[in-house]
Structure 1
Amino acid sequence: MKILFVHQNMPGQYREMLDWLIAQGGHELVFLTQRRNYPERPGVKKVLYAPHHRPAKDAYGLSKVWEEATGAGYGAAMAAQHLRDTGWTPDIIIGHTGWGELLFMKQVYPAVPILGFFEYFYLSKGGPVGFDPEDPPSEASPFLLHARNAVPFANLHVADRGIAPTMWQRNCFPEAFHAKLDVCHDGIRTDRLGPDPDVALTLGRVGRITRDDEIFTYIARNMERTRGFHTFMRALPHIQKARPNARVLVVGGNDASYGKKSALAGGFRAEMEREVGHLIDWDRTHFLGQVPYPDFQKIVQISRCHIYLTMPFVLSWSMLEAMAMEATIVASDVPPVREAMTDGETGLLTDFFDPPALAEKVAAVLAEPERFAHLGKAARRHVVENYDFLNVCLPRQIGFINALVPEDRRIAI
C-alpha cells in the first residue's frame, strides 16, 4: 500500500504503526513533516515542508490559530503537490488534524481517502478550563477556545473517517463528529514494556539505584499545572516527612506544553520552589529533566510508587506505559484517568486538589510495597487486554485503513 503520513512532529502518534509497516515491508511510505532532526530511516521517505505563513506575534487573537493552521496546511499541500507532480499518488492519507496540515489535501488529492487523528476539541467549559480555581479562565477564554475549534470543524469535512484515542477525548467533540470518529488508542508495546526486578540505573548525583532503593517518581513532558506539578510539589514535603529515606526522581522539561507559560524565568518549577522549596529536602529530590526513553523505562521499573497527575485532558502515554511495567500508580481521580484505571484494582486514585491525601497514599505504598503489588500486576493485565499495540490496537487501526481503500490495496494482518 502507498501511505502518506502527515504530522508536523514525525512520527507523533504513528510511532508504532510506522515501525510495524517498515518491518512488514512491501509498502511505499512517505512521511510529510516539519521535523528536520528526525533521522532518515530505510523503508520510509521523509519529506519536509515549511509553513507558507506564520502569523505575527500581535495578530488578532480570534483568528491567529486559523491563520497559523492555514499557513501550515498550505505549506503541506505544496509539498504534497510536488509529490503528485512527480507521479506519486498515495492510496490513503493518514494524519493529525490539530495543526491544519490536512486542510488542503483534498485540493491536491481529491480522490484519496483521509484518515484523521482527532486528538482534542477545546471546550470553553470543562476539561482543564476552569478546573483549577487558582487558574481561572479570562473573560475572553470562551471566545478564543471556540475560535481554535475552526480547525477541527474544517477537518471534519476534510477527513473521510477519524480516530480518537480514548472515549473521553472522543466525547469532547460535539455530536456532529461522533458518527465519523472511531475510538482506538495508538497502542502500547506491552511486549517490550514489563517489570524488571533486576533493573539498575546510574544517574548523575543520584548514583546507582535498584529496586532495593526507596524510590518514587513523578513524570510529565513538562512541569505545569495541567499535569498537576503544583499538587505534586505541595505533597512532596508530606511524603518526605513520612518516609525519611525515600528519594524522588522527577522527569520532565521546564517549558509549557499545555496552557500558558509561567511569568518567572525558571518556569512553573521556579514558582513552586518559591512556594514550598523551604519545606523540601533537596538532597533527596532529583530533577532529571527530559531523559532518553530507555532511561525513562528503567526509572519506572525501579520506582516503588509512581505519581501520575493530570487535569481532565489528553491521557499521557506514560501512564499506560507505567501500567504495562507493573508500576504501583497513584493518579488523579479525573474522567480520562478513570477510563483506563480503576481505584483499588489497577491503581490508587486521589483528589487532584488534595496534596496531603496524595502524600498519604504514596507514603503507604512506599512503606508496604508488597501490600500494593497486586495493583501493578492487574494494571499490566488491563493494558495488555485493552491497549496492547500488536494484538488490540494495530488490528483495529489496520481495519480502519482497509475500510477506506479498494480490496486489492488492503494491508494483510
Structure 2
Amino acid sequence: MKILFVHQNFPGQYRELLQWIVAQGGHEVVFLTQRRDVRQVKGARIVHYLPHHRPAEGAYAATKYWEECCGNGLGAAFAAQKLEAEGFRPDIVVGHVGWGELTFFKEIWPDVPILGFFEYYFLARGGSVGFDPEFPASPHAPFLMHARNAVNFANIQTVDLGLSPTLFQRDTFPESFHPKIYVKHDGIRTDRLRPDPKASVPLNRLGRAVTREDEIFTYMARNMEPTRGFHKFMRALPHILDARPNARALIIGGNEVSYGKASDARGGYRAEMEREVGDRLDWDRVHFLGKVPFAAYQQIIQVSRCHVYLTVPFVLSWSCMESMAMGATIVASDTAPVREVITHGETGLLVDFHDHEALARQVIEVLARPGDVAHLGPAARRHIVETYDFETVCLPEHIRRMNGLVPKARRIALPGA
C-alpha cells in the first residue's frame, strides 16, 4: 500500500501506527509535516511543507483560525502536487483534520480515499470553555468557537471516513457527523508500559534514588496549566504534605500553555501558584522535574504510590492511560473524558475537579493506606490491556478501516489474519 500520512506535528497520533506499518515492509510510506527538526525514519520518507499563508496578528478574530487553516491546507496541497509530479500517488491519505491540512486534498486526488482524525469539536458549552468558574468564558466565546468549527464542517465533507479516539471526543461533534466517524483509540503499548517494582528515580536534592518504598505521589501534564488542573493540584499540595510528613511530590511538565489562555504573569501558571501557596509548602519535598525523557517518565510513574490526573472536559491525555497500563493508583478528576476510562473504586478514584480539598483528602488516604487500594492499579492495567492495547485491540481495527477504503490487492495484512 502507498500511504500518505499528514500531521503538522510529526508523528502526532500516528507514532505507533507508522512504526508498525514501516516494520512490516513492502509498503511505500510518506509523512507530510511542518516540522523541520525530524530525522528521516527508516522505511518512510519525511516531507516538509510550509503554510502557504499565515494570518496577521490583528486579523479578524472570527475568521483568523479559518484563515490559518486555509494557509496550512494550501501548503499541504501544493506539497501533494509536488509529490504527484515526482511520481508518488497514494492509495490512501491518513491525517488530522484539525489544522486544515486535508481540506484541499480532494482537489488534487479526487479518487484517493481520505481517513481523517477528528479530535475535538469546539464547544462553547459542555466542554473546556467556561467549565472552571475561575476562568469565565468571554461573551464572544460562543461565536468564536462556532466559527472555528468551519474547519470541521469542511473536512467532514472532504474525508471518506473519520475517526475519534474516544466516545467523549466523538460526541462533541454534531450527530450528523457520527455516521462517518468510527471510535477507536490510537492504542497503548501495554507490552512496553508495565509496572516495575524495581524502578528507581534519582533525586539530586535528596542525594539518593527514590523507589516504591518511598512515599511518592506524582502529577504530570505536558504543560502546567488550568486545563489540566494544575492550579487545583497546587492548592491541594500544602494539605497533602502537612498530613504526610514523609511524602514527596514529583511534578512533570513544562511551563508553557498547550490548551487555553496563557497566564498574564511572568513565569506562567507555575509562578502564579507558587506565589499563592508557596509560603505554606515544604519546598524540600516538592520536585519540579520539567519535561523529561519518556523512559524517565515511565520510572517516575512506576515509583509513584499515588498518581494525580486532572482535566476539564477536553481531550484525554495519553498519560492517563499510560499510567493505568503501568499499574498506577490514580486519583483523577470526575469529568466526562476520565469517566470513560476510569470507574471510581474499580480502576481508580474520582474527585470533583473543582474541590482541591477533596483531592487532597483522597490523595492523603491513598498514601496513608496503600493496602486498601492495592487492587486499583492491577485492575486499571487489565482494563487498558483489554480495551486499549495497541497491538491486539486498536491496531487491527485501524488496519481494517484503512483496508476497507482501498482495493483488495493493495491492503495491509495483519499477522495471523
TM-score scaled by length of structure 2: 0.98
- 1:74-102 residue CA offsets vs partner (Å, 9 max, x unmatched): 00111111000111100000000000100
- 1:220-265 residue CA offsets vs partner (Å, 9 max, x unmatched): 0111111001110010001001101100000001111111100011
Q: What residue in structure 1 maps to residue 47 of structure 2?
A: 47
Report SS of the residue matched to 1:179: helix
Q: What residue in structure 2 maps to residue 230 of structure 1?
A: 231
Q: What residue in structure 2 maps to residue 198 of structure 1?
A: 198
Question: How far apart are the structure 1 equivalents of 2:398 and 2:157?
Answer: 21
Question: How far apart are the structure 2 equivalents of 1:27 and 1:45?
Answer: 11
Question: How far apart are the structure 2 equivalents of 1:8 and 1:74?
Answer: 13
CA RMSD, Structure 1 to Structure 2 (Å): 0.8
1:28 paired to 2:36: no
Q: How does 1:160-179 map to 2 (within 5 A)?
A: 160-179=160-179
Q: What residue in structure 2 maps to residue 70 of structure 1?
A: 70
Report SS of the residue matched to 2:21: helix
Per the TM alignment, residue 108 of structure 1 is displaced from its structure 2 partner at its CA by 1.1
Question: How far apart are the structure 2 equivalents of 1:196 and 1:339?
Answer: 26
Q: How does 1:12-411 map to 2 (within 5 A)?
A: 12-206=12-206, 207-411=208-412
Q: Which amino acid aligns with 2:367?
A: L
- 1:115-138 residue CA offsets vs partner (Å, 9 max, x unmatched): 000000001111111111111101
Question: How far apart are the structure 2 equivalents of 1:160 and 1:204?
Answer: 53
**Which runs of no fewer than 5 residues in structure 1 stay unpaired?**
none
- 1:320-355 residue CA offsets vs partner (Å, 9 max, x unmatched): 000000000000001110000100000000010111
- 1:167-188 residue CA offsets vs partner (Å, 9 max, x unmatched): 0100000011001000000000
Question: How far apart are the structure 1 equivalents of 2:48 and 2:412?
Answer: 26
Question: How far apart are the structure 2 equivalents of 1:59 and 1:107?
Answer: 27
**Which runs of no fewer than 5 residues in structure 2 stay unpaired?**
none
Per the TM alignment, residue 22 of structure 1 is displaced from its structure 2 partner at its CA by 1.3
Question: How far apart are the structure 1 equivalents of 2:408 and 2:22?
Answer: 21
Question: How far apart are the structure 1 equivalents of 2:240 and 2:89?
Answer: 58
TM-score scaled by length of structure 1: 0.99
Q: Which amino acid aligns with 2:51?
A: P
Question: How far apart are the structure 2 equivalents of 1:15 and 1:204?
Answer: 33
Question: How far apart are the structure 2 equivalents of 1:353 and 1:54?
Answer: 38
Question: How far apart are the structure 1 equivalents of 2:344 and 2:39?
Answer: 41
- May I ask how many residue pairs the two structures share in their alignment? 413
Question: How far apart are the structure 2 equivalents of 1:9 and 1:204?
Answer: 34
Question: How far apart are the structure 2 equivalents of 1:204 and 1:60?
Answer: 50
Per the TM alignment, residue 66 of structure 1 is displaced from its structure 2 partner at its CA by 0.4
Per the TM alignment, residue 208 of structure 1 is displaced from its structure 2 partner at its CA by 1.3
Report SS of the residue matched to 2:93: strand
Question: How far apart are the structure 2 equivalents of 1:306 and 1:79?
Answer: 43
Q: Which amino acid aligns with 1:130?
A: G
Question: How far apart are the structure 2 equivalents of 1:38 and 1:362?
Answer: 40
Per the TM alignment, residue 373 of structure 1 is displaced from its structure 2 partner at its CA by 1.5
Report SS of the residue matched to 2:340: helix
Question: How far apart are the structure 2 equivalents of 1:329 and 1:130?
Answer: 26
Report SS of the residue matched to 1:217: strand
Question: How far apart are the structure 1 equivalents of 2:331 and 2:230?
Answer: 14
Question: How far apart are the structure 2 equivalents of 1:263 and 1:361?
Answer: 31
Q: Which moved more, 1:264-273 or 1:188-197?
A: 264-273
Question: How far apart are the structure 2 equivalents of 1:282 and 1:405?
Answer: 58
- 1:6-33 residue CA offsets vs partner (Å, 9 max, x unmatched): 0001110000001101111111000000
Q: What residue in structure 2 maps to residue 5 of structure 1?
A: 5
Question: How far apart are the structure 2 equivalents of 1:181 and 1:193?
Answer: 29
Q: Which amino acid aligns with 1:25?
A: G
Report SS of the residue matched to 1:3: strand
- 1:172-219 residue CA offsets vs partner (Å, 9 max, x unmatched): 000110010000000000000110001112244354111111110000
Per the TM alignment, residue 367 of structure 1 is displaced from its structure 2 partner at its CA by 1.3
- 1:281-335 residue CA offsets vs partner (Å, 9 max, x unmatched): 1100011111100000000001010000000110000000000000000000011
Q: Which amino acid aligns with 2:234?
A: M
Q: Which amino acid aligns with 1:169?
A: Q
